[in-house]
Amino acid sequence: QKEVEQNSGPLSVPEGAIASLNCTYSDRGSQSFFWYRQYSGKSPELIMFIYSNGDKEDGRFTAQLNKASQYVSLLIRDSQPSDSATYLCAAPRRDSWGKLQFGAGTQVVVTP
């Protein structure tokens, strides 16, 4: 079992709708998570860092962390074609916060 798992997609979302992405993790001790966006041929871009149970909002993005159920999700409201990208979930290792364990990423396609 991979430490961080994501559905690879593609997740097709109509423009203006909410995209919902999920990430599950196996290490119950994981305390925090990152969400990155990666456009094709580009490097990952940091969207959000979350470490507390509950929701964290930043613009059109909302991250949700549920440590009891071991999942973290990302909602993209009012999806735009420019949101079409691969979204990566990552967890820092407890022994070294500079070492991230990445999921495989979910490809999101926003259709006009």
Partner 1 sequence: KAGVTQTPRYLIKTRGQQVTLSCSPISGHRSVSWYQQTPGQGLQFLFEYFSETQRNKGNFPGRFSGRQFSNSRSEMNVSTLELGDSALYLCASSLSPREQYFGPGTRLTVT
| Site size for partner 1 (CB under 8 A) | 25
- Complex with partner 1: residue 7 or 17, whichever CB lies closer: 7
H or E segment at 71? Answer: strand 71-76
> Using CB under 8 A, which of 13, 63, 88, 108 touches partner 1?
88
Q: Least separation, in Å, of the C-beta of 49 and partner 1?
A: 5
What residues form DSSP beta bridges with 71? 24, 66
Q: Least separation, in Å, of the C-beta of 55 and partner 1?
A: 17
User: How many Å apart are CA 94 and CA 20, to the nearest integer?
Assistant: 27
Give the number of other Cβ atoms within 10 Å of residue 111's Cβ. Answer: 11
> Using CB under 8 A, which of 17, 75, 100, 109 touches partner 1?
100
- Contact between residue 94 and residue 30 where contact means Cβ atoms under 8 Å apart: yes
> Using CB under 8 A, which of 42, 66, 78, 111 touches partner 1?
42
Q: Does 101 bind partner 1 (CB under 8 A)?
A: yes
Q: Least separation, in Å, of the C-beta of 6 and partner 1?
A: 10
Site for partner 1 in 56-85 (CB under 8 A): none
User: How many Å apart are CA 38 and CA 44, to the nearest integer?
Assistant: 4
Residue type for position 112: P
